[in-house]
Structure formats: structure tokens, C-alpha cells
Amino acid sequence: MPDATGSASADGTGTDPRPLDVVPLHRGGLTPPALDPAAVPAHVACVMDGNGRWANARGLPRTEGHRVGESTMMDVIAGAVELGVKELSVYAFSTENWKRSPAEVRFLMGFTRSVLRAQTDDLLAWGVRVNWVGREPRLWKSVLKEVRRSERITAANDTMVLNMCLNYGGRAEIADAARAMAQDVEAGRLRAASINEKTVQRYLYSPHMRDVDLLIRTGGEQRTSNFLMWSSAYAELYFSDLPWPEFDRTELWRACEAYAHRERRFGGAVDRVTSRS
């Protein structure tokens, strides 16, 4: 049975989730900015950075920063749904993050698995469809199994796609696409002369991914660290000095308001002579 708010449950007994009714509102009662729907970024990507430094600055181990980051992520997801964002990509573990200490890697793998297990019911109720983006080699089998489970449970949702970028690297994605294209050319399934940008898009981990409109990085660094290289070729960049554990949906809304004022030209140009008086 759906509960009083019309939410659904992971056991599949719920119906009619009506996501906007069930997304938890901001704790302080704040509401999203009234943006023209055309000015809302359809695809927002987040480099959730600064967890470790946030924790260490408080005398805590880095892993405590990751733990607090879970509630930031859920708050940002709720805020994105409220604002009408259609696709949100979160960078949870990069192909470069294997360089970290075995203890931190082990923590991050186990933690990701438990976040997926704990939050899938809410994501289902909020109308969010989970989509894993990344490469399989090295990713823990148990994590892969868990993210596949979340994908299955939320497969019918269509309010917002949540791209969980796990064991993701932009260069790895392009190299993997190039290898798959070469294999198809060798096997006679693809003509080399016909390869264009649309073809490459079809060979990416998630061929239906929209181009990223707004790429947010928290934690004070101004780099993209190999995130969604192909898809964010024309993304607007927004850097926040706040560490991820201190970011929240109101900061997401602030970034989206800044985005709404950007002029995106995509290489084009308009002659707008200002009158000189």
C-alpha cells in the first residue's frame, strides 16, 4: 500500500509516487528560486570534493567526511528534483581514486554499497532513476551488484536520472569507446569512414546521457579531475569553496541561479553594438 504521502517502496508494493509531494523540503523551509524553466540546467554534474579535508580540519579521519557527504548528496538530489533538473551526475569514485590508501579505498567501496542500500527506497519514492556510469574492471563485484539492484528498482522512474559515476574516468570512457568502435570496425559492423561525434556518443558508457549544462565542483579546487570529459565539453563551470559536507540544496540553487545568468554561445556570436553617447 502506498503511504499517506503517496510514496512507493522498494518491495514494489507502492504506486503513484508523485515525486514532488514526497521529496523532503528544505529543513529551514526555503524553496527553490523561481527560474524560467528554460533557464534551469537540464543536466547538472557534481564533483563532490573536499570531504577528507573537511574531516581532517575537525580532527577527524577522512572517512568521517565521506559519511557526512551522504546527507549532502541526498539533500542536493532532493533540491535538484524540486528545481526541475532532469539529470544529475555525481562523481562518487574516480578511476584515479584507486591510488588512495587501501583502507580508504576499502571504506569507499563498502560505504558506497551501504549508501545505495540505504537510500534506494527514498530515491524510488522521489521519482529518481539510478544509472551507473563507469567501468567494470576493478570495481568491487558487491558494489556493482548493489548499483545494478538500485537501477532495477528505480527503472520505471522518470522525474530525474541520477548518474552514479563509480569507477568513472573521462579518458577511460573515451578509450573504452574507441576500443569498442575499433572492434566493431574489425568485425564489419561499423564503417570507419562513417564515424562522427554521434557515433562516439553511442559508444559512451551511457549513450543517452544529455550534455552537461552545469558542472559544479565543491572543495575549492578549480579543475574537473577527468569527470565527464566528452559530455561536459560545453558545460558552464561553477566552483564553490565550500567542502562537500557543508554544501546543500540552497548552494545548488545558488549555482543554478548563476547558471541562469550565463550567456551560452556554443561558438556562435551575435553582433550587439552598444550605442556610444
Span from 35-43, 85-93, 250-258, 269-277 in contact with ligand IPE (CB under 6 A) = 85-93
Build a one-symbol-per-residue string for 192-231: x at contacts with ligand IPE by CB under 6 A, - elsewhere.
---------------------------x-x-x-x------
Q: Cα–Cα distance between 66 and 51 in angstroms, integer?
A: 6
Angle between helices 141-153 and 102-125 (to 10 degrees): 10
The answer to the question of residue 146 lying near Mg ion (CB under 5 A) is no
Q: With CB cut-offs between 5 and 8 Å by kind, which of Mg ion, ligand IPE, none does residue 136 bind?
A: none
Helix (H) or strand (E) holding 46: strand 43-47
- Smallest distance from ligand IPE to CB 151, Å: 19
- Integer Cα distance of 60 and 71 in angstroms: 17
**Contact of residue 63 among ligand IPE, Mg ion, none (CB under 5-8 Å per partner type):** none
Q: Is 226 a catalytic site residue? A: no
CA 111 to chain centre: 17
Residues 48-67 within binding reach of ligand IPE (CB under 6 A) = 48-53, 62
Residue 97 among the catalytic residues? yes
What residues form the annotated binding site for Mg(2+)?
49, 236
Binding segment for Mg ion (CB under 5 A), chosen from 46-54, 142-150, 226-234, 237-245, is 46-54
Run of H or E residues at 130: strand 128-133
CB 238 within 8 A of CB 214: yes
Question: If binding is defined by CB under 6 A, does position 88 make contact with ligand IPE?
Answer: no
Among 49-57, 71-79, 179-187, 246-254, the segment contacting Mg ion (CB under 5 A): 49-57
Alpha-carbon distance of 59 to 54, in angstroms, equals 9
Rounded CA gap, 27 and 130, in Å? Answer: 24
Residues with catalytic annotation? 49, 97
